[in-house]
Amino acid sequence: MTLNSSRRIFLKSSALAGIVFGAAPRSLMRAVYAQGSVSKRKTMVVIFQRGACDGLNTVIPYADSGYAKARPTIAIPAPGRGREGSALDLDGHFGLHPALQDLRPLYQEGHLGIVHAIGSPDLTRSHFDAQDFMESGTPGLKSTADGWMNRCSSTLGQTESRFRAVALTQTLPRMLRGSSPAVALARIDDFHVREDIEMSEGRGMMGDGRQRYGRGAQSNRSEGTATAQKADGGSSSAAFEKLYADAAHDMLGNAGRETFEAIEALKLADPAKYRPREGVSYPRGRLGDSMRQMAQLIKADLGVELAFVDIGGWDHHTAEGSSTGQLANLLRQLGGSMAAFHQDLGDRMNDVVVMTMTEFGRTVRENGNRGTDHGHGGVSFVMGGPVNGGRVHGRFPKLSEEHLFEGRDLPVTTDFRDLVGEVLVRHLGVSDLKRVFPNYEVKPSAFVGALRA
Amino acid sequence: MNRDGRFRTLLSLTLASQMAVLGPLAGADPETTIQKIPNDDATAIHVLNRLTFGPGPKDLGRVKQMGVAAWIDAQLRPSTATDTALATRLAPLETLSMDTAELRAKYETPPDVRQQIQKARAEKDAAEGKTGTASAGQRSDEMDPKARREERAAMVKRFPQLATLQGTPRKVIAELQAGKVLRAAYAERQLDEVMADFWFNHFNVFARKGPVEFMIGDYERDIRERSFGKFEDLLGAVAQSPAMLFYLDNWQSVDPGFSPRDLYRQQGMGGRPRLNGNRPPGGGGATGAKQPPKRTFGINENYARELMELHTLGVDGGYTQKDVVEVAKAFTGWTILGEGPGGPRRNKESRFAFAEPAHMKGDKRVLGVTIKNGDEKEGLEILHLLATHPSTAKFISAKLVRRFVADIPPQALVDRAAATFTKTGGDIREVLRTLLTSEEFLGPAYRSAKVKTPFEFVVSSVRATGAEVKNPRPLTEKIGAMGMPLYLQQPPTGYKDTAEEWVSTTSLLERMNFALDLSAGRVRGVAFDPGSIDNQAATLDSVAAQILPSGLSPKSRETLEAEAKKDGNDRAKLVGLVLGSPEFQRK
């Protein structure tokens, strides 16, 4: 094992490479890291709601009489005189599900916008295909090998960051698969080869109780020297790194190399030390955990530009519930996680846009089991500094049969690519949308105005 | 209800159609079928990699002794004799031998108690300032074992009836997972295990939805009995299994005009109907709400859609939304005795039942075919129509080729497998035979082309090292941590069988860490003895020969030789490095 390969990331910044070889203080390394304009970038976070969220019980068109009529047992009551369980009024027409109360102040303050009747133009009601299309970014075309977020990553120019495209998931989502590097990690504070822990037992404990570096770190392990932990060369981590460095340039080899680069970057930036801001409490569950860690990655200046988290369980064919129940429980997690993230990042939200996506909406009418079946148009939230919030964007039709898609579903009046495109252009400064959405022309005239121009 | 009778009808339909169309089976095509399967090391290793959960130390010798061709044939005809060594290992997992009724009687928490537990948890969360409500199963996973035990003890004190149960549903799922790992690791009839896994995944159900966790044992037995048989028989068994009926909601899909209240009144059973008031236990979280005053009933499209999209035709198999609705109508009334309409209530036997009063009358039109009004027969006719449809032959064949040959299935082989499917009336064993004797499968083109799933990786590590699994729990937890919790894939798609799903930074790191943990004896309950590795050759050669018979790349060998030198031939460490190497991730 040579220093060379483990320091690969920094050697790329050749001007400062000499300093890195020495026992440079961490602050300087951070400066090196930041030099590749890593920290200055803007970030887009996608929250994918897998299973098709019922948009009509999320952002409720309570003023349309068709709504309550179509849903005799699961409709959310219209807002009124503080009645418990009623919708939280937004604009006299729409209301938020009461479980989304954490989001209402963000809406009122203009940090949160809503796009209703949004979705994919493809007519499939298959979860699998619809998710696939929404992630590939090419509805109707199954042969697309990569995801739109990965293609977007390749349009963003050079970066030194290994975390430009990151998913807080166990497996890399379709949206991020492709030729550009992308990292999937389930837990950021446990991302290393475990042998290092084993070898450091009793010796390598960091002050915060986490064990991080290996035996070799003894000699000069003071905070800020991330260079020495592999110096004794006995580590399996180094051997694995070499095995994967030499592996073929295929999916497995590439992922192996990206793994070790990510381990290295995480050691240096140490996102785990960025605890949630005082008073911020993320909801229990996977989404809350993901959003908390996403905030840590962003605060650690790891250069996150395209980020992905997901939350499953939205497929409520039975006993969906109304003001309380299964959907309410999930929405509480969603709203709570988004609000906590917003509060946690504070001013940094000026550089962040969070948007939610789901593969399709659900039937306007409830089905025979107090649930809803697969529909068409759904709803997206858009949150962050640049957001044109406090409004429900998009064209929302009347809920009478003649205005519905196939007489049963909310139609799609905003193609999801127009909203994604708007975020990419106005927030991330992407100029080549043709590469992101190859068979679709995203026209600024079709932007719903979710972001300030 | 006599299920056998129904299947006899179904079977005779199948046979009749076959005999009408076909003469005797055509002989194998000499162009594409390997007449004489070579009995060399490379072929044997490849076959072991694909038809088993990975070669163990003695497997290569055994296959070669028997001959690859004879070994494949034997795997295709698993004997029904007890695998006694395996049975001994499974014996301590007492829930595995229980049927649904027994499991529910012994492990199901009564609904009122369950509600109380959930309420107590919610109050505790609120008191601690925590927000958000995970599902009961998730919530329980997040608790540490001590907290879980304390909560349980408190609940038993409050609800003495809990003390009469033998354990919690957690135990049932844990033992299912443990059984699956033990079977994969130790079963003699490996292809039988591979196929049971394949079909369970094809007909995926989620253990945490309602009482499904208690139904999976029976469900898997039903599947296992049919995994080399006729596809239509398998499809029919799944369609009438309580596990699938519950998981895809068909048990509550009824004629919109049907009123269970009337039915119960007619039957003089009184009380409230359970059709919709019956909150599934466990999964999904409690509504906590008062039931809305007005009940509605009607059809539920969930099963009908997935039946065509995932179980038979495939999403491009040529059906429409209209077909989905028509199929859903035909299956109204297919329900679970004791759960759905038709009573008697609180019958925990959980058997299939056809509830005639809940069935929508009238002809249905599916895929251009008129299905005559005929109660339960409509569903059976539709299953037959789907099982014998050309799209199904293609879809199932492609999925099998993807499993056994390559992520992108070679089309010519799919076509041949589909032809066998059609020719034999969906005989799974014969489709497999076409596949496993093909040039594509046996030739060098696709060797090591597949990446192992987390389940395959963990089990193949155990098999390769010859490790002794005393307690499978740590292994099932690892598999879960790698993104593949067994029996807990929520969507009906099951787990994907392609590399891009399983190759990611996180999962690779988990694999490397598992490899080191296993070889260093750090996996609780799993004993590996590095001294067990034959040491006649140089250390690295012996290790590689046993752990990775398909071989290391020259560069990997170089790296590992340097490691071996540095560490004084530390065998355990070399085993760990080989298990975590890129080569071992493939099969």
The predicted-structure confidence for B506-561, as pLDDT tens digits, reads as follows: 889 999 999 999 999 999 999 999 989 887 778 899 999 999 999 999 999 999 99
Task: Name, in order, each residue with C-beta under 8 angstroms of B540's C-beta and a sequence gap of 6 or more.
Answer: B557, B560, B561, B564, B569, B574
- In the predicted model, what is the mean pLDDT of residues A346-361? 97
Q: Is B259 on the interface with A (CB under 8 A)?
A: no
- In the predicted model, what is the mean pLDDT of residues B117-127? 73
pLDDT band, very low/low/confident/very high, at B25 (cuts 50, 70, 90): very low
Q: Quick one: pLDDT at residue B261? A: 66
Answer whether B310's CB lies under 8 Å from B324's CB. Answer: no
Report pTM. Answer: 0.81
The string of pLDDT tens digits covering residues B477-505 is 999 988 899 999 988 999 999 998 899 89
Scored b (16 or more CB within 10 A) or e, B103-140 reads bbebbbbeeebbbebbeebeeebeeeebbbbbbbbbbb
Percent of chain A's residues with pLDDT above 90: 67
pLDDT at A23 over 50: no
What element of type H or E holds B190?
helix B190-202
Mutate to test the interface with A, among B489, B495, B506 (most CBs of A within 10 A): B506
DSSP 8-state class, residue A282: P
- Give B513 or B142, the one with higher predicted confidence: B513
Q: Quick one: pLDDT at residue B409? A: 97
The whole-chain average pLDDT of chain A stands at: 84
Q: Is B335 on the interface with A (CB under 8 A)?
A: no
The string of pLDDT tens digits covering residues A244-288 is 999 999 999 999 999 999 999 998 888 988 999 999 999 999 999
Of A233, A336, A370, which has the smallest distance from its Cβ to B132's Cβ? A336
Residue of B nearest to A284 (CA): B132
- Give B32 or B542, the one with higher predicted confidence: B542
DSSP 8-state class, residue B110: P
Among residues A172, A430, A106, which one has the least CA distance to residue B505? Answer: A172
Residue of B nearest to A315 (CA): B491
Rg (CA), chain A: 23
Is B567 exposed, middle or buried (CB count within 10 Å of its CB: 0-12, 13-18, 19+)?
A: middle
Task: Name, in order, each residue with C-beta under 8 angstroms of A139's C-beta and a sequence gap of 6 or more.
Answer: A120, A121, A122, A133
Q: Which residues of B touch A234 (CB under 8 A)?
A: 566-567
pLDDT at B321 over 60: yes
Q: Quick one: pLDDT at residue A288? A: 96
CA distance B316 to chain A (A): 10
- In the predicted model, what is the mean pLDDT of residues B372-386? 97
- In the predicted model, what is the mean pLDDT of residues B458-469? 97
Of A233, A318, A371, which has the smallest distance from its Cβ to B566's Cβ? A233
DSSP string, A1-66: --HHHHTHHHHTSGGGHHHHHS---HHHHHHHHHHTT-TT--EEEEEEETT---GGGTEE-TTSHH
The whole-chain average pLDDT of chain B stands at: 86
Task: Name, in order, each residue with C-beta under 8 angstroms of B315's C-beta and a sequence gap of 6 or more.
Answer: A124, A126, A128, A129, B309
pLDDT band, very low/low/confident/very high, at B265 (cuts 50, 70, 90): low
Cross-strand pairs, B400: none
How is residue B539 written in tokens? 């250390």
The string of pLDDT tens digits covering residues B434-456 is 999 999 999 999 999 999 999 99
Task: Name, in order, each residue with C-beta under 8 angstroms of B146's C-beta and a sequence gap of 6 or more.
Answer: none
Lowest-pLDDT choice from A122-136, B118-132, B355-369, B516-530: B118-132
- In the predicted model, what is the mean pLDDT of residues B387-403? 98
Q: Which residues of A touch B315 (CB under 8 A)?
A: 124, 126, 128-129
The string of pLDDT tens digits covering residues B197-211 is 999 999 999 998 889
Q: Quick one: pLDDT at residue B155? A: 82
Q: Is A325 close to B285, i.e. CB distance below 8 A? A: yes
How crowded is residue A403: how many other Cβ atoms within 10 Å of its Cβ?
15
- Give A215 or A35, the one with higher predicted confidence: A35
Q: Is B309 close to A128, i.e. CB distance below 8 A? A: yes
Q: Quick one: pLDDT at residue A195? A: 65
Answer whether A306's CB lies under 8 Å from A423's CB. Answer: no
Among residues A105, A69, A120, which one has the least CA distance to residue A419? Answer: A120
Residue of A nearest to B297 (CA): A368
Answer whether B456's CB lies under 8 Å from B53's CB. Answer: yes
ipTM above 0.90, yes or no: no
Among residues B526, B527, B544, which one has the least CA distance to residue B535? Answer: B544
- The dihedral through the CA atoms of A426, A428, A434, A440 has a sign that is negative
Q: Quick one: pLDDT at residue B33? A: 73
Q: Rounded distance, CA A87 to CA A76, Å?
A: 6
Q: Quick one: pLDDT at residue B97? A: 96
Most confidently modeled range among A124-133, A152-161, A232-241, B379-388: B379-388
- Give B15 or A268, the one with higher predicted confidence: A268
Q: Rounded distance, CA B532 to CA B246, Å?
A: 47
- Give B182 or A143, the one with higher predicted confidence: B182
